[in-house]
């Protein structure tokens, strides 16, 4: 496989995962803002911006932190790289560059997701925005399905590796932001707003039901953190993403004979995570833990690029 | 009714109620299928093309950076005997083009014998001294030719243009057929249509057959594209994909010690055959344009050293140049010893005094072209030109006659086509594809039919609103899905 192709496939996986995450984030934020007993309002939209690392860019627009402005900013605004449309642009550009490595179905799903945005200038109201992000998510599910019907070769593995690395990053950010920034002054930990916010997080990672199955208690912060960090059953947990990365790297090694620094880093990280106890993480500082995780994820990303000679 | 009395390929001169005898069944199919149903199928095909991203980019048009080419549901059909004759003519013409290139960059017998004036070669930009004296592997130059044909009557086919550099359109030939099979399966039940989907296999076989000698059993073949911003990128990726070979960009290739490698995740892999979709000028900054950011430095040196086959060979432009075109009948006769089976459109070389006099006397009836112009630039279309334009060309012709050729305006054939008001005849042209390897010349039974969608228009160019149709070649009862003839 061409080095350029390998790089484009990996980034294709990352950008699509990011687009999917942003769609989920917008969806969850609308629910938090509109559906909960005590709407979180601006704070909810502010946290959506922080999670996606676009708060500074948004501040420059001078708009209020309202649904209309933030939802448009996160979905349709092509002026900053943190919008769904830009992620899909980048994913599609990479997909075009490596079209020969994708099946028709895989390419079509990406192209269709991209087309959803081509005719729109506004996300519309809450219902229309929900419909729009649901349509994106549906195409992304179609894409995921299609790559399971592709030849099981390096191309598929690299796309999945990109997605796993990106997903780990997204979950860590989501958790970090919620834990330290979200709760407005005057609100109590464990209060209604706090509860709504944790529910929103679970919704963003499609884990509301998973939580109920795994924890018989009501909604507890420590359990949500445990679920998102160390439960391998949940596909978006840090533990699951890390395990998936290890597995994909060793499958790639089998097919390509390329094994090295990235494999070693990923395995060491998995072993550390298996010994991690959530209670200890909280005591010694969740924020520090997540920051270190995000930094390590970046190092892994660079090691992957070296190992597969990305150009 | 046929437009302007032109010959219609299905209806002949008779119109929908009295089609050509061979096309009664097809005409019946058209009559039996409600127009609304044809419209629906056509829209379904176009929606699929958009979803698949079968698009082309229009340069300088940022609003419509990606467009699909309109697809027309009514096929254009060749009868077995029509196709047999065409194929013979195509094989003869492409063999002559290859012989001509071999000669021009070699012995130059055709110049020595005075068949073609020397200055037409030596003063021509398309003659590439960089590859003079270089014989490509196995002596094949024009591996892939797209020969543009027009028709003016039941038996009158003319070559409008030879494309021996990087002819495009083959992806439309294949995708249009896919769409037709899906949308109009009944047509394939009722007619024995020659399949076109063998094209990728034939192309790969052609590529492998010209790999530099003494090599591996399975030479490494690649398709070289300028990149995904190129207007024909879809086609480039389609061709690579259907052959199962790597689609490379110049940045993926390195030349070391006159050997071409591609950079893969496992390191360098030697490349034997390159189907390039980049013009000569941008192929190698060390050999051609030094300001090109695109090319692969050292590629031409590797080619000269005989270490890589380039498809089509660099320097081919001299064979499809407009000034050379007018000599094609002589060229065919010179190398084949026989008369040309597929004639040119009658062409006046203004460099010849008698021809110039005729052209000046008949400017209002002729199309005048600059020999080195393309894409409609430097062109006079007499019947639609203003007096001032005609006088301007008259002055230019008198001043520099050698820069111009002239041709009569032809009554191009039409094919029934879906338009707003229903079915109506629209003018078409046709580009079949001819493959030449070290093992023979092959004509794919089909091609790209382009159709001018505006009434009366002769402009089939896709960037100017032309569309495409599937092109059926009907099979005879005998064998032979493609004509093969030893090189």
| Residue B364 tokens, joined | 């209002």
Give me the residue from A111, A154, A311 closest to B263, CB to CB: A311
Instruction: Answer whether A35's CB lies under 8 Å from A199's CB.
Output: no
CA-based nearest distance A189→chain B, Å: 49
Q: Phi and psi of B423, rounded to 5°?
A: -90, 135
Residue of A nearest to B261 (CA): A2
Kindly tell me if the per-residue pLDDT of B64 is higher than 80. Answer: no
Kindly tell me if the per-residue pLDDT of A3 is higher than 50. Answer: yes
**Does the distance separating the beta carbons of B265 and A99 come in below 8 Å?**
no
CA-CA distances (angstroms) from residue B249 to A54, A274, A306, B153? 34, 43, 21, 44
**Does the distance separating the beta carbons of A96 and B233 come in below 8 Å?**
yes
SS3 assignment for B214-245: CCCCCCCEEEECCCCCCCCHHHHHHHHHHHCC
Residue of B nearest to A1 (CA): B264
Report the pLDDT value the prediction gives residue B486, as an integer from 0 to 100. 45
- For the entire predicted model, the pTM comes to 0.84
Could you tell me the end-to-end alpha-carbon distance of chain B, in angstroms, rounded to an integer? Answer: 44
Q: Please report the sign of the dihedral spanned by the C-alpha atoms of residue B452, residue B455, residue B459, residue B461.
A: negative
- Count Cβ atoms below 10 Å from residue B378 Cβ, excluding itself: 16
Instruction: Tell me the average pLDDT across B223-231.
Output: 90
Q: In what order do the strands lie in the sheet with B259-264?
A: B253-256, B259-264, B267-270
Instruction: Tell me the average pLDDT across A196-205.
Output: 82
- Count Cβ atoms below 10 Å from residue B486 Cβ, excluding itself: 6
Residue of A nearest to B242 (CA): A100
Report the pLDDT value the prediction gives residue A51, as an integer from 0 to 100. 85
Q: Phi and psi of B408, rounded to 5°?
A: -70, 155
Condensed to tens digits (0 to 9), the pLDDT of residues A147-192 reads 988 888 999 999 999 999 999 999 998 888 776 555 555 666 667 7
Count of H-run helices and E-run strands, chain B: 14, 23
Residue of A nearest to B227 (CA): A97
Q: Which residues of A touch B55 (CB under 8 A)?
A: none
Residue of A nearest to B268 (CA): A2
Interatomic CA distance for residues B486 and B471, integer angstroms: 26
Q: Which residues of A touch B227 (CB under 8 A)?
A: 97
Length of chain A in terms of residues written: 311
Instruction: Answer whether B162's CB lies under 8 Å from B141's CB.
Output: no
Q: Flag whether residue B249 sits within 8 Å of chain A, measured between CB atoms.
A: yes
Report the pLDDT value the prediction gives residue A245, as an integer from 0 to 100. 97
Q: How many CB pairs under 8 A join A and B?
A: 61
Share of chain A above pLDDT 70, in %: 94
Q: What is the CA radius of gyration of chain A?
A: 19
Instruction: Answer whether A65's CB lies under 8 Å from A45's CB.
Output: yes
Report the pLDDT value the prediction gives residue B203, as an integer from 0 to 100. 97
CA-based nearest distance A260→chain B, Å: 13
Q: Flag whether residue B265 sits within 8 Å of chain A, measured between CB atoms.
A: yes
CA-based nearest distance B173→chain A, Å: 18
Q: Flag whether residue B264 sits within 8 Å of chain A, measured between CB atoms.
A: yes
Token pair 């979803």 is at which residue?
Answer: B51
Residue of B nearest to A113 (CA): B51
Instruction: Tell me the average pLDDT across A133-138.
Output: 94
Q: Which residues of A touch B241 (CB under 8 A)?
A: 99-100
Q: Name which of A276, A282, A200, A207 is nearest A239 in CA terms.
A: A276
**Does the distance separating the beta carbons of A2 and B265 come in below 8 Å?**
yes
For chain A, what is the mean pLDDT? 89
Interatomic CA distance for residues B308 and B303, integer angstroms: 5
Q: What is the CA B487 to chain-centroid distance, rounded?
A: 21
Report the pLDDT value the prediction gives residue B482, as an integer from 0 to 100. 46
Q: Is B310 helix (H, G, I), strand (E, B) or coil?
A: strand
Report the pLDDT value the prediction gives residue A216, as an integer from 0 to 100. 82
Give me the residue from B51, B251, B266 closest to A108, CB to CB: B51
Q: Name which of A36, A19, A25 is nearest A70 in CA terms.
A: A25
Condensed to tens digits (0 to 9), the pLDDT of residues B423-457 reads 899 999 999 999 999 999 999 999 999 999 888 77
**Does the distance separating the beta carbons of B228 and A93 come in below 8 Å?**
yes
Report the pLDDT value the prediction gives residue A185, as an integer from 0 to 100. 56
Token pair 């501040």 is at which residue?
Answer: A59
Condensed to tens digits (0 to 9), the pLDDT of residues B362-384 reads 999 999 988 876 555 678 888 88
Instruction: Answer whether B452's CB lies under 8 Å from B427's CB.
Output: yes
Length of chain B in terms of residues written: 487
CA-based nearest distance A258→chain B, Å: 7
Q: Which residues of A touch B51 (CB under 8 A)?
A: 108, 111-112, 115
DSSP string covering B145-177: EEEEEEEEETTEEEEEEEE-S----HHHHHHHH
More confident residue, B487 or B393: B393
Report the pLDDT value the prediction gives residue A190, as an integer from 0 to 100. 67
Report the pLDDT value the prediction gives residue B153, as an integer from 0 to 100. 92
| Residue B210 tokens, joined | 């010209």
**Does the distance separating the beta carbons of B251 and A100 come in below 8 Å?**
no
Condensed to tens digits (0 to 9), the pLDDT of residues B378-429 reads 788 888 889 999 999 999 999 999 889 999 988 899 999 998 888 899 999 9
Q: Name which of A55, A47, A54 is nearest A28 in CA terms.
A: A47
CA-based nearest distance A141→chain B, Å: 17
Q: Flag whether residue B56 sits within 8 Å of chain A, measured between CB atoms.
A: no
Give me the residue from B50, B237, B249 closest to A4, CB to CB: B249
Q: Give yes or no for a cis peptide into A228 (omega within 30° of 0).
A: no
SS3 assignment for B127-141: CCHHHCCCCCHHHCC
Kindly tell me if the per-residue pLDDT of B256 is higher than 70. Answer: yes
- φ/ψ region of B375 (left if φ > 0, alpha if ψ in -120 to 50, else beta) reads left
Interatomic CA distance for residues A180 and A194, integer angstroms: 12
Query: ipTM of the assembly?
Result: 0.75
Condensed to tens digits (0 to 9), the pLDDT of residues B54-63 reads 776 555 444 4
CA-based nearest distance A249→chain B, Å: 14
**Does the distance separating the beta carbons of B262 and A309 come in below 8 Å?**
no
SS3 assignment for chain A: CEHHHHHHHHHHHHHHHHHHHHHHHHHHHHHHHHCCCCCCCHHHHHHHHHHCCCHHHHHHHCCCCCHHHHHHHHHCCCCCCCCHHHHHHHHHHHHHHCHHHCCHHHHHHHHHHHHHHHCCCCCCCHHHHHHHHHHHHHHHHHHHHHHCCCCCCHHHHHHHHHHHHHHHHHHHHHHHHHHHHCCCCCCCCCCHHHHHHHHHHHHHCCCHHHHHHHCCCCCCHHHHHHHHHHCCCCCCCHHHHHHHHHHHHHHHHHHHCCCCHHHHHHHHHHHHHHHCCHHHHHHHCHHHHHHHHHHHHHHHHHHHHHHCCCC
CA-based nearest distance B242→chain A, Å: 9
Residue of A nearest to B243 (CA): A100
DSSP string covering B407-430: EEPP---EEEEEETTEEEEEEEEE
Instruction: Tell me the average pLDDT across B348-355.
Output: 92
Q: What is the CA B287 to chain-centroid distance, rounded?
A: 26
Q: Flag whether residue B271 sits within 8 Å of chain A, measured between CB atoms.
A: no
Q: Name which of A158, A155, A150, A151 is nearest A109 in CA terms.
A: A150
Instruction: Tell me the average pLDDT across A52-75.
Output: 92
Interatomic CA distance for residues B323 and B419, integer angstroms: 37
**How would residue B78 be classed by pLDDT, with cut points 50, 70 and 90?**
very high
Give me the residue from A5, A97, A256 closest to B228, CB to CB: A97
Interatomic CA distance for residues B443 and B434, integer angstroms: 5
Instruction: Tell me the average pLDDT across B225-250.
Output: 91
**Does the distance separating the beta carbons of B240 and A154 come in below 8 Å?**
no
Residue of B nearest to A2 (CA): B264
């Amino acid at each position: 496989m061409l080095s350029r192709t390998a790089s484009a496939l990996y980034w294709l996986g990352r950008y699509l995962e990011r687009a999917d995450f942003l769609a989920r984030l917008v969806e969850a934020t609308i629910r938090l803002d509109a559906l909960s007993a005590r709407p979180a309002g601006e704070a909810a939209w502010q946290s959506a911006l922080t999670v996606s690392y676009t708060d500074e860019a948004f501040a420059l627009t001078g708009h209020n932190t309202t649904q209309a402005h933030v939802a448009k900013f996160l979905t349709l605004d092509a002026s900053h790289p943190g919008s769904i449309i830009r992620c899909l642009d980048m994913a599609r550009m990479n997909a075009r560059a490596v079209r020969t490595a994708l099946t028709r179905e895989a390419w079509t799903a990406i192209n269709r997701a991209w087309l959803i945005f081509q005719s729109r200038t506004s996300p519309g109201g809450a219902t229309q925005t929900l419909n729009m992000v649901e349509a994106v998510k549906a195409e992304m599910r179609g894409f995921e399905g299609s790559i399971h019907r592709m030849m099981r070769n390096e191309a598929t593995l690299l796309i999945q590796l990109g997605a796993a690395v990106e997903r780990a990053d997204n979950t860590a950010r989501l958790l970090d932001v919620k834990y330290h920034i979200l709760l407005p002054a005057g609100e109590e930990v464990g209060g209604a707003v706090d509860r709504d916010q944790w529910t929103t997080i679970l919704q963003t990672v499609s884990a509301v039901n998973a939580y109920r199955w795994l924890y018989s208690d009501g909604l507890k912060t420590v359990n949500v953190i445990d679920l998102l960090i160390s439960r391998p059953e949940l596909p978006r947990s840090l533990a699951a993403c890390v395990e998936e990365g290890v597995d994909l790297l060793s499958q790639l090694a089998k097919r390509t004979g390329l094994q090295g620094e990235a494999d070693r880093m990923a395995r060491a990280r998995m072993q550390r995570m298996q010994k991690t106890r959530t209670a200890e993480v909280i005591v010694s500082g969740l924020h520090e833990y997540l920051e270190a995780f995000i930094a390590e994820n970046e190092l892994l990303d660079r090691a992957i690029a070296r190992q597969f000679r990305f150009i | 009714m046929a437009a302007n009395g032109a010959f219609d390929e299905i209806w002949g001169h008779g119109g929908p109620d009295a089609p050509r005898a061979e096309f009664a069944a097809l005409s019946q199919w058209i009559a039996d299928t409600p127009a609304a149903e044809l419209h629906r199928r056509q829209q379904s095909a176009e929606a699929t093309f958009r979803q698949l991203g079968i698009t082309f980019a229009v340069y300088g048009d940022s609003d419509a950076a990606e467009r699909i080419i309109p697809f027309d549901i009514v096929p254009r059909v060749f009868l077995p005997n029509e196709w047999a004759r065409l194929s013979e003519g195509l094989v003869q013409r492409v063999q002559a083009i290859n012989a001509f290139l071999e000669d021009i960059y070699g012995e130059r017998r055709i110049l020595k014998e005075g068949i073609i004036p020397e200055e037409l070669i030596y003063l021509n930009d398309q003659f590439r001294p960089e590859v003079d004296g270089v014989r490509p592997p196995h002596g094949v130059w024009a591996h892939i030719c797209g020969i543009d044909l027009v028709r003016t009557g039941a038996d009158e086919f003319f070559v409008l243009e030879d494309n021996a550099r990087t002819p495009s359109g083959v992806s439309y030939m294949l995708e249009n057929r896919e769409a037709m099979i899906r949308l109009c399966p009944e047509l394939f039940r009722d007619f024995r249509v020659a399949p076109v989907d063998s094209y990728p296999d034939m192309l790969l076989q052609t590529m492998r057959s010209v790999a530099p000698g003494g090599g591996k059993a399975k030479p490494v073949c690649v398709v070289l594209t300028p990149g995904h911003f190129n207007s024909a990128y879809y086609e480039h990726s389609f061709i690579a994909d259907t052959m199962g070979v790597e689609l490379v960009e110049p940045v993926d290739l390195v030349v070391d010690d006159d050997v071409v490698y591609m950079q893969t995740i496992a390191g360098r892999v030697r490349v034997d055959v390159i189907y390039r979709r980049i013009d000569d000028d941008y192929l190698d900054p060390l050999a051609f344009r030094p300001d090109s950011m695109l090319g692969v430095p050292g590629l031409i040196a590797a080619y000269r050293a005989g270490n890589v086959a380039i498809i089509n060979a660099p320097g081919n432009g001299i064979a499809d140049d407009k000034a050379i075109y007018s000599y094609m009948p002589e060229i065919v006769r010179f190398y084949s010893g026989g008369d040309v089976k597929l004639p040119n459109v009658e062409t006046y070389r203004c460099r010849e005094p008698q021809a110039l006099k005729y052209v000046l006397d008949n400017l209002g009836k002729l199309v005048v072209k600059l020999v080195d112009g393309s894409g409609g630039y430097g062109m006079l279309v007499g019947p639609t030109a203003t007096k001032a334009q005609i006088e301007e060309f008259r002055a230019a012709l008198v001043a520099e006659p050698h820069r111009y050729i002239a041709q009569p305006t032809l009554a191009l054939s039409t094919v029934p086509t879906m338009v707003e008001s229903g079915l109506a005849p629209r003018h078409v042209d046709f580009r079949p594809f001819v493959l030449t390897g070290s093992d023979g010349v092959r004509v794919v039974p089909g091609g790209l039919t382009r159709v001018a969608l505006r009434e009366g228009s002769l402009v089939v160019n896709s960037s100017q609103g032309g569309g495409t149709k599937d092109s059926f070649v009907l099979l005879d009862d005998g064998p032979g899905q493609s004509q093969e003839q030893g090189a």
